[in-house]
Chain A
Amino acid sequence: MLLEAQGIAKNYGGVRALKGVSFDLRAGEVHALVGENGAGKSTLIKVLTGAVEPDAGSIFLGGERILNNSPHHSRSLGLAAVYQQPAIFPHLTVAENIALVNETGGLARKVNWAARVETARELLKAIGADIDPEREAGTLSMPEQQLVEIAKALGANVRVLILDEPTASLTELETERLFTIVARLRSQGAGIIYISHRLEELARIADRITVLRDGESITTRQATETTPQQLVSLMAGRELATLLPKVTVPLGDVVLSVQGLSSVSAGVHGVDLEVRAGEILGIAGLVGAGRTQLAETLFGITPADAGKIRVKGSEVVVRNPEDAIAAGIAYVPEDRRRHGIVGDLPVRANTTLAILPQLSSRALLDQESERELATEWVTRLGIKTDGIDAPASSLSGGNQQKVAISRWLATEPKVLILDEPTQGIDVGAKAECHRIMCDMAAKGLAIVMISSELNEILGMCDRVAVMRNGHIVATVARAEATAESLLALALGHTS
């Protein structure tokens, strides 16, 4: 037994995040940890790495109890973790990011710069990431940062590697590479704790699967003996409807039409696309292909320097988000916690943030209308909250996402762009988000959905545009699209 946690309990204030969870990991094993958001997965791994101190319970590594745990201590014992949010130093180079975590020897020593760069280069090469070690980490994209995180974790002399949703922002190709690395580590005798919402992955990679629910360990099973459907019902404690409702609605007129759209600074080049009322257009592509940048260009965050945008036939000039909103373009961003919601504001304020001018007379806010409107959306989208005055940050990830979506639906948009709408939210919430998208499409909204999860794209979209290097390289109807063909297009392996 490599790692053993016994009776771990942790309370935050009055909330019992972990109620005496026991967990074990063998050498040469991939042990997956699944559960809905808030089930206690992240807390458990933070306890293991010493980032959070448990109220009760003990941890043994190789039979020896770990006392006075801290991130530093656990790391020196060979426990490495890749957290959901990349823990990078934006101002420092990639090489230094890796070195600061992995080098041992305390603060009073000289830095060997050449060795740092060399080590980083090797580690990045090992995971097949084409990233210059001397680049400033803050200039990397989110998935590239995730890759640096993985390289960082591998750099340590790993006995236990903890991966918390590592594939959430990775493309299929990068995910494949990650799996190769995991397999190699496993064969070298390391233990891997793997957290993921992508249940399909688990059958391929995991040896055992433990399901957490409400801070308790429900069951531990051999991966070969479970199906995703079983896992889902174990996680939720109930049977769920099948994922990805696939509703076809009659398509209307062209709502959004884009011609030759470019934004040099954002890296978007000559994009043409069309979306009809009731249609869901998927945008697939590798990380860094320019999908988010395209969305941000349409939304005016990085205004276009060439090209035309037409909404319902009339040309619009989008210089900033206000122009986009006025033109009926709405955008639910990828980074929910930073940009999607304003966590400290109450749910009602989050819902109405984009339509404040409509809720006011002479700049004064009509609070009654606001409450009515917020209540209406909470009901319509089934947002689970303690009330419209609860801060958005107190909601679960899925419900936060619904709040973010409600804000943009409240603007009564003609085009809704969703960027990784179900990333990092649990299965139940995911299904509900999909249901909402279908409902909205049925009401004649034109939807653009960016997703790295090919299953989601294939399940939800009427057509799929594939991006590569800031260009749209192909647009495929759903009937003709397969995971393989989309991947090949994204990679540039045209057959």
Chain B
Amino acid sequence: MRQRATAIAIFWAVLVAVLAFRAPAFFEFANLRDIAVVNAPALLVAIGMTLVILAGEIDVSVGSQFAVASVVAGTLAKAGVPLPLTALLTALAGACFGALNGALVSWLGVPSIVATLAAMAFCRELLRWVTQGAWVEGLPADFQWMGLSQPHGELAILLLAATIFAAFAWTLRHSQAGRAVYAVGSSRESARLAGLPVGGITLAVFILMGVLTALAGVLDSVRFSQVQSSAGAGLELKAISAVVIGGAAITGGRGTLWGTLLGASVLAVIAPALTFLGINAFWEKAIQGAIILGAIVLDRLSARRSGSGDKHAG
């Protein structure tokens, strides 16, 4: 974990050095703020993904969930539901969605990658069938920026995301519930024998994932005055990448939200940094892939250097 933080720090140092030399405008407050606002929803999803991965599961349906949540939020707002209630109802819808995934995983024992793969296709197709690709248009004027002015709306989004992040970071580290998530991810059987409600925790993690994704959908929608029904494509891979770059073990039990924040920050700056540096957008995907692979290689190298294998017994 510490090596990972160092590696990301080095990445940032190099990036900062290059940008400071080639495109100092990158560091203007307005730019950093814009990047933060744009990526705040993705961060919320990555927070949820961290929980899910810590608990030893995975959720590849978040992109579809995000789209459903956005459309639900837009439809409610269009129907004249006040914004706080819209957010609440959307979160509720997200919770239901998450509960469905969670129930498949914890009660029916479907491996989470399969269950959420199915959920992803199911929801995407259903949404496509129902909306036929149409956007939700004609939202009330006070929907955008939650009825605040733009600067206040942006601030509100950032504060909300920061609050949620801080709350989850604290809970994961310092509350028994947070530790229980780690415990379940570390060993389900041990957690069961320790009397932890394993099924309940797995279910809860998926529900939180659903709620966070729904909130992300709302936070994303309020930045605009229309809702795109095909939103969130590829969001699942972005969130998983952020968590993995942040140093979490894909098998569960290891990782922190701070790592995820670092991972998400790396992914968030690639595209704008490329534009600022005048590098062609064609290489963006390759760079993303290379960063993930770099993280794997780095992990292994640092493990070798410290010589701490995982062999035991004697």
A–B contact (CB under 8 angstroms): yes
**Chain B residues, CB < 8 A from A76:** 195
Pick the contact of A110: B175, B190, B193 (CB < 8 A).
B175
Q: Does A38 contact B (CB under 8 A)?
A: no
With beta carbons under 8 angstroms apart, the residue of A75, A111, A266, A292 that contacts B179 is A111
Chain A window 186-197, contacts with chain B (Cβ cutoff 8 Å), 1 for yes, 0 for no: 000000000000
Q: Which of B174, B192, B194, B309 has its CB near the most chain A CB atoms (within 10 A)? A: B194
- A331 to nearest B CB, angstroms? 13
**Is the Cβ of A89 less than 8 Å from the Cβ of B183?**
yes
> Are B253 and A141 closer than 8 Å at their CB atoms?
no
> Which residues of chain B are near A92, meaning CB under 8 Å?
179, 182-183, 186, 253
One digit per residue, 1 when the CB lies within 8 angstroms of any chain A CB and 0 when it does not, for chain B 164-191 equals: 0000000001111101101101110111
Stretch at the interface among A101-109, A246-254, A455-463: A101-109
A107, closest chain B residue (CB): B177
Contact B179 A100 (CB under 8 A): yes
Report how many A-B pairs have Cβ atoms within 8 Å.
111
A91-B55 Cα distance, complex, nearest whole Å: 12
Which B residue sits closest to A419, measured CB to CB? B313
Residue of A71, A90, A111 near B176 (CB, 8 A) is A111
| Contact among A101, A290, A293 for B194, CB-based, below 8 A | A101
Let me know if A71 and B309 touch, CB within 8 A: no
0/1 interface trace, chain A 73-117, chain B, CB 8 Å (1 if under): 101100001010001111110001000110101111111010000
Question: Are A108 and B175 interface neighbours, CB within 8 A?
Answer: yes
**Chain B residue with the shortest CB-CB distance to A267:** B314
Tell me the complex Cα distance, A75–B186, Å: 21
Instruction: Assess whether B314 is in contact with A302, with CB atoms less than 8 Å apart.
Output: no
Interface of A is mostly: loop
Q: Which of B296-314 contact A (CB under 8 A)?
A: 307-314
**B23: Cβ under 8 A from any A Cβ:** no
- Could you say which residues of chain A place their CB within 8 Å of the CB of B186? 89-92
Cβ of B311 and Cβ of A293 under 8 Å apart?
yes
When the two chains form their complex, are residues B176 and A107 in contact, meaning their CB atoms are under 8 A apart? yes
Shortest beta-carbon distance from B298 to chain A in Å? 19
A residues within 8 A CB of B175? 107-111
- Residue of A with least CB distance to B191: A89
Residue A51 lies at the interface, judged by CB distance under 8 Å to chain B: yes
Given contacts A71-B195, A142-B312, A335-B313, contact A110 B187 (CB under 8 A): no
Q: Which residues of B204-240 have CB atoms within 8 Å of chain A's CB atoms?
A: none
Q: Hey, what's the 0/1 contact readout for A119-151 against B, CB within 8 Å counting as 1?
A: 000000000000000000011111110000000
B249 within 8 A of A: yes
Smallest CB–CB gap between B256 and chain A, Å?
12
* A89 in contact with B253 given A83-B193, A100-B196 (CB within 8 Å): yes
Q: Is B78 interfacial (CB-CB < 8 Å)?
A: no
Whether A110 contacts B174 by the Cβ 8 Å rule is yes
Residues on B with beta carbons closer than 8 Å to the beta carbon of A335: 313
A72 to B180, CA, bound (A): 14
Structural contact, A87 and B190, CB atoms closer than 8 A: yes
Across-interface contacts of B174 in A (CB, < 8 A): 110-111, 113
In the assembled complex, how far is the CB of residue B248 from the closest CB belonging to chain A, in whole angstroms?
A: 11
Q: How far is the CA of A111 from the CA of B309 in the complex (A)?
A: 30
Q: Which residue of A has the minimal Cβ distance to B184?
A: A89
Cβ-defined contact, B311 with A87, below 8 A:
no
Contacting pair B253 A90 (CB below 8 A): yes
Contact between A142 and B311 (Cβ–Cβ < 8 Å)?
Answer: no
A288 and B175 alpha carbons, distance in the complex (Å):
34
- CB pair B193 A87 closer than 8 Å: yes
Would you call A17 an interface residue if the criterion is a C-beta within 8 Å of the partner chain's C-beta atoms?
A: no
Asked whether any CB of chain B lies closer than 8 Å to the CB of A334, the reply is: yes
- Contact at A302–B309, with CB atoms within 8 Å? yes
**Chain A's nearest CB lies how many Å from the CB of B311?**
6
Alpha-carbon distance A271/B312, docked complex (angstroms): 19
From A49, A73, A264, A292, contact of B314 by CB (8 A): A292
In the bound complex, do residue A139 and residue B195 qualify as a contact, i.e. CB atoms below 8 Å apart?
A: no
Minimum CB–CB distance from B35 to chain A (whole Å) comes to 33
Cross-chain contact B314 with A139 (CB below 8 angstroms): no
Residues of A near B180 (CB, < 8 A) are 100, 107
A432 → chain B closest CB, angstroms: 25
Closest residue of chain B to A49 (Cβ to Cβ) is B193
Q: Does A265 contact B (CB under 8 A)?
A: yes
Flag if B177 contacts A108 (CB, 8 Å). yes
CB distance from A100 to the nearest CB of B (A): 5
CB contacts (< 8 Å) of A83 on chain B: these are: 193
Chain B: minimal CB distance from A76 (Å): 8
Q: Which residues of B contact A73 (CB under 8 A)?
A: 195
Smallest CB–CB gap between A465 and chain B, Å?
A: 14
CA separation between A38 and B174, bound complex, in Å?
43
Residues of A within 8 A of B194 (CB): 71-72, 75, 87, 100-101
B312 proximity list for chain A (CB < 8 A): 139-142, 144
CB-defined contacts of A140 to chain B, threshold 8 Å: 312
Contact with A along B238-262 (1 / 0, CB 8 A): 0000000000010011100000000
Task: State the Cβ distance, B281 to closest chain A Cβ, in Å.
Answer: 39
C-alpha gap A27/B183 in the complex (Å): 33
Contact B311 A266 (CB under 8 A): yes
Distance from B105 Cβ to chain A, minimum over Cβ atoms (Å): 19
The closest CB in chain B to the CB of A113 belongs to B174
A75 and B190 in contact, given A92-B183, A92-B253, A264-B307 (Cβ under 8 angstroms): no
Report the separation of the CA atoms of residues A164 and B48 in the bound assembly, to the nearest whole angstrom. 39
User: B182 near A142 (CB under 8 angstroms)?
Assistant: no
Contact A75 B195 (CB under 8 A): yes
B197: chain A residues at CB < 8 Å are 72
Is A29 an interface residue when CB atoms closer than 8 A count as contact?
no
With beta carbons under 8 angstroms apart, the residue of B187, B252, B309 that contacts A265 is B309
With a cutoff of 8 Å between Cβ atoms, the chain B residues found around residue A36 in the complex are none
Chain B, 265-314, CB within 8 A of any chain A CB: 307-314
Within the complex, the shortest CB–CB distance from A492 to chain B, in Å, comes to 15
Neighbouring A residues of B173 by C-beta, 8 Å: 111
Query: In whole angstroms, what is the CA distance A335 to B185 when docked?
Result: 23
Say which residue of B187, B193, B313 sits within 8 Å of A90 (CB atoms): B187
Chain A positions within 8 Å of B313 at CB level: 141-143, 292, 334-335
Q: Provide a sorted-by-A list of 18 A–B residue pairs whose CB atoms are within 8 angstroms.
A: A71-B194, A87-B194, A88-B187, A100-B183, A100-B196, A107-B177, A109-B176, A111-B176, A139-B308, A143-B313, A143-B314, A264-B307, A265-B307, A265-B309, A285-B314, A289-B314, A292-B313, A293-B311
Closest 6 CB pairs of A and B: A72-B195, A91-B253, A89-B186, A107-B177, A87-B190, A91-B186
